[in-house]
Amino acid sequence: EKMWISVFLFCLFTLTSADEFNVRAKELMKKHPLIDGHNDLPWQLLKRFHNQLNKVDLNTFNETHTNIPKLKLGHVGGQFWAAFTPCDTQYKDAVRQTLDQIDVIHRMCKKYPETFTFAETSADIRTAFKNKKVASLIGVEGGHSIDSSMATLRLFYSLGVRYMTLTHSCNTPWADCWKVNTGAVEAENNGLSDFGKKIIKEMNHLGMIVDLAHVSVKTMSDALEVSEAPIIFSHSSAYALCKHERNVPDNILKIVKEKKGVVMVNFYNTYVTCSDNANLSDVADHFDYIKNVAGYEAVGFGGDYDGVNRLPTGLEDVSFYPDLVAELLRRNWTDMEVQAALGENLLRVFEAVENVRVRNELLVDDTPISYDKVQNPCRTSYGYSN
Q: Which helix (H) or strand (E) holds 78?
A: strand 76-84
Is 194 among the residues known to form the active site?
no
**Other Cβ atoms within 10 Å of 1 Cβ, number:** 5
Instruction: Given the residues 144, 235, 244, 286, select the one marked as catalytic.
Output: 235
CA pair distance 360, 261, nearest whole angstrom: 20
Say whether 32 is catalytic: no
What does the alpha-carbon distance between residue 109 and residue 71 come to, in Å, rounded to a whole number? 14
**Interacting residues of 175 by C-beta distance below 8 A, sequence separation 6+:** 143, 166, 167, 189, 191, 192, 193, 196, 199, 215, 219
205 is catalytic: no
Cβ-Cβ contacts under 8 Å for 57 (sequence gap 6 or more): none
Indicate which residue of 32, 65, 205, 214 is catalytic.
Answer: 214
Single out the residue of 150, 202, 213 nearest to residue 178, CA to CA: 213
Q: Do 167 and 176 contact (CB within 8 A), yes or no?
A: yes
DSSP string, 284-335: HHHHHHHHHHH-GGGEEE---BTS-S---BT-SSGGGHHHHHHHHHHTT--H
Report the interhelical angle of 94-111 vs 150-158 (nearest 10°): 10
The per-type count for the chain, helices as H runs and strands as E runs, is 15, 9
Query: Would residue 214 show up in a list of annotated catalytic residues for this protein?
Result: yes
Catalytic option among 38, 65, 75, 205: 38
Considering 40, 202, 288, 306, which one is annotated as catalytic? Answer: 40
Residue 383 exposed, middle or buried by CB count within 10 Å (0-12, 13-18, 19+) = exposed
The reply to whether 40 belongs to the active site is yes
Catalytic-labelled residue, pool 168, 205, 244, 286: 168
351 is catalytic: no
Q: Is residue 137 within 8 Å of residue 81, measured between CB atoms?
A: yes
Q: How many CA atoms lie within 13 A of 371 on its CB side?
A: 10
Q: What is the DSSP letter of 384?
A: -
147 is catalytic: no
Q: Which of 124, 141, 147, 245 is catalytic?
A: 141
What is the rounded CA–CA span in Å between residue 80 and residue 86? 18
Tell me the residue ranges of DSSP E strands in 107-179: 116-118, 134-141, 161-165
CA distance 296 to 340: 7
Residue 37, classed as helix, strand or coil, is strand
Active-site amino acid positions: 38, 40, 141, 168, 214, 235, 304
